[in-house]
Chains A and B, each alone.
Chain A
Amino acid sequence: MTAGPIAIVGAGLAGLRAAETLRREGYEGKLTVIGDEAHQPYDRPPLSKQVLTGWVASDHTTLPRLENLDDVDWELGHRAVGLDLAEKKIVLDDGRDVPYDRCLIATGVRARPWFNEAEAELDGMFVVHTTDDSRALRTRLAAKPKRVLVIGGGFTGSEVASVCRMLDIDVTLVELAPAPLSGALGGVIGAIAADMQRDAGVDLRTGVRVDAIEGDERGRVAGVRLSDGTHLDVDVVVVALGGIRNTEWLTGSRLAASALGIGCDAGCRAFDGNAIVTDDVFVAGDVARFPHPIYGYQMMTLEHWRNALIQAEIAAHNMISAEADRRPHVSVPWFWSIQFEVNIKSVGVPTIADQVVVTQGSTDDRRFVAAYGLDGTIVAAVSFNAGRYLEYYERQIQEAAAFPPVLDEVGQATGDDPVPAAFPPQSELTNRPTVVLTGHSPTEMRVERKFPEE
């Protein structure tokens, strides 16, 4: 076990669970947790649900500490601005260095801002990612706006639209794909989500984008213009276009960090830019780009609550374990969303599938399970108000069972035939680094990465 010191960059769910795991597994050395927000580690899922409805105050989602962390050095309200792999130190925004023997990077994502900076400055523009974001939006929703526009029909955007309807606020949701949730669940299940939204009174507009957001003479949001020429009067706009991974602070380091995330092995050890694994820098949570063996060792990032938790525990364990005792991060991913009084849960990785079939229940009742397949193997399943069946599908995925699945063990099958899952094309990242090789001798070549201008 290392004598330390250990530094954790990122004070969200992953950073907190890693710190707890280190102490639980007997690490007694110096432990520093660095977080750019001034708040103690807090939970984010409630911020787009019970906080926006007004039931729970925005500053009431502080995570419980499952271990005593009183002796941790909490560097909260300080941003890490650099990592020096050679000197083994993290540089903070106030110029101080935090030395480490082992470090964990769990800097997560931030909300993608509206692309037009002038429009983004208007009073009435919101994102939902931090506790401060959620408080600001809750205050505005409590004042009963005339109409809210949600840009983006992913999970967060759909949850915000759901809250608006619960509060009896008129809401329009604009999604460029043919259906909400289709980026995560495909167009077939997305069409069911679309029906759910329309039944709840959401003015859902798919296949269009927002071309312009207009302000009044006092700089407040007054209306929007859509790509189909429609003009809408709205006074609140919620931008829910996903996240940007917080990796820019590592651009000057030699780590394999980019907009795609930070490359790492299944043991959560970071790759350097040459794709050689480090042994003292670990990665966990939304920024970790890791190979998943059951998905053909494809490199993937997962922005899911449970992935952050499990990866943090494994990374922390591996940070203080001898090589023979290290564990791989190979569990099947899970996520959930609560919207329109429906509990949506998913196991596996739906986005890699080419086919989907409703296996149990009824989509009309919004109580069903659908399985996803790729090349005749089950890779994921999603449930709407039928979560307790998913453990069966998790085992099927773990065992690489055939698709479509046989359901003798869990009950009545629908008898439906698989159809194309209809995932929209993946958007290309524009700010990934250009990789060039330097050197002449094949055994002495190195990778150099050139980042585009921000």
Chain B
Amino acid sequence: MSDLHLIGALPLWGVAVIALAVLALLVQHFIRLRQRLGLGQTAILTALRACVYGALIFFLLGPALIDKRVTKLRRPLTLLIDTSQSMSFPANAKSISGDKGAKSRLDLVKEKLEAGSQPLIQRLSRNYDLRVIRFGTGLEPIAPGSLDRLRAADPGTRLMELVQRAARDGAARSGIVLFSDGIANGEIKSLNGTALAAPVFAVGVGDTEGFTDLRIARLGAPEFAFRGREFKIELTVQAYGLKGKSVPLLFNRGKNLISTRSIAIDADPFEQKITLSFTPKDLGTHVFSVSLPAQPGEQIAQNNQKEFKVDVRRDKIRVLTLSGSPAWNYRFLRMAMKQDPLIELVSFVFLRTPTDTVDVPENQLSLIPFPIDDIFLEELKNFDLVLFDDFSYRAYFNPVYLERVRDFVRDGGGLAMFGGARAFDSGGYGDSALREVLPVELDGKGSYQARGPLQAALTAAGRKHPITRLLPDPKSNEETWAKLPPLTGMNQVHAVRGETLLTANDGAPLLAIGRYGKGRTLALMSDDAWRWNFIAVGNRETPQNHLKLIRQAVRWLAQEPAFEQVQLYPIPTAQPAEKVAIKLKVLNDDFTPARQASIQLRVISPEGEPTLISTSPDGEEGEYSGDFTPTREGTYQVEAEASAGGKALGRNKSSFSVAFSYGETDDGLPRPDLLKQIAEASKGEYLSIDDWNDKTFDKIAARLETIAPSEIVEQRQTRLWSNLWPFGVILILLSAEWWMRRKWGLI
């Protein structure tokens, strides 16, 4: 259907002026004709002229016929649905976490889209070019019919980044309806005035009114601590909707409670910084936790607990020495250890034997009772090394305590026995639990003999071993050993079970090392090692060789990392599904790189499930690596064991953490403020899901129409003055006038 429109460029006032002029002309025309013609004839001629003028004015207005055709479009529409973990939290205060049937935030979104006989999602699919996209840490298009299968499982919400991307990727005149709780933990925390390319109608999910939650936020704990030294943990407790309550804060190591603290919640919202401290006694990686019991009405219980691990290292190697009597060997041994800042020495020197009598009351003696039970039943585990220095247990305690020492070594401790008249067979160890532990075999017949001079000589193993490597250069090292003063007494042993590092000049073993279980052992078959120090001083030589020997022996026995034959490199924190490279270095017994070692590498998941990892040699000699891909968050243990030629070289343990970096479930409080910011930046609108009803989307559609209509109107214009008809009509009118004038004698 066509409509007549005046599309001329002449303004109306111009037309009016022309019309007035024409009217004046017509009046003059009528008066002039009336003087020569009758009234009727004058009227006819004036009317004809008026028609001519009228036609001219009409065509001056630009008459045109316009033909309109309207086309309706299917508007592009994007539904963005937040499927991050926080969307699994209860939708409102009525839906308490843990309750069966509690409605999650995502459930509420699904309900709004799918409920009713005419589900909204179907209507939208019908009327719009609909794209449904779930998002968390990335955008993932889904079929509109698969809403049911959505799970709130994404580990983070990169809200700002992904909304920007969705707006940029959308087609022209598209609109975005965003369903989210507004919790954002991506890299961009705020839009900061950045405009969005498409209007976003942000639908806030989750109640802030009545939100009840107690959580541990911002936990700061050291990655490692030193044994015996206090470390501090700083944390923030936050609470919403719990004013007036008092809650206990529990601090645990594993399942053992360390301390509790009561927190009085006196505000809403509530926030309090708390500092906790702990002094670790045991080495290794320990998992600690701080937790707050779930409160009645609390919506999110997952964030009431935080776990962290602390690698407890020794700042010092703790050495326990038991010396059978005051002796020069003890004097110089003590000097070597006391001067070493890495060694903490606890020593007991038995100043009196049961046969010695005193001439004063006990309270005038400085002797302290040897705390047998405390040492062997309680404190032993806190030492790295036990050293029996010319000491026989027989006069002081029951041999059952030596079983404790055996277990201590089996579990990774170090044991050294220095010779003398009270050591090895002479000390009765051939019949004790330490017989199987020591690196030498005892047959009960070996005795201590004062003889000399006994010059120490390096064996093949001793030339390479870090204990006896006094100088880096092998030749200089051997010369140094050859120059050390001779000794004057030795214990005989039946044989060496481990490795012999030093022999006397008659070939008898002088220094031997070995392993028992996870621990290391050493036997020095003499009480005369002090001569390597003080006699050397008298010979104008350095005492450092003796000091270095003692310190290196202590480090090797205590399995200092540099003295480990299997060394696991630290593994940084990884994310689930991220490949983790586990690297290790393996050394032979002589501490040369083990090129052909057989490696058994296991990773144990937080649930205790072991996975064997295959390894291959790396570029560096003695280095190996294997890959592992963790599937879930938690602490993974790594155990490495190496052998060469069927002989065990050692083992080591480590651990690493796997965690998402987002902290999605830390704070469950919905953030409508962020959603409002998105809506404003995009010229869209914010609305709460609680206000959503059947007509809500119609309002959104209307708003979208105002921003960008979804119809296309086509027009066809026919200009009436641009053809012959107007000229023909005017010509006919003028011809008629001319004919009448002629007839009536005016021409």
A and B form one complex: no
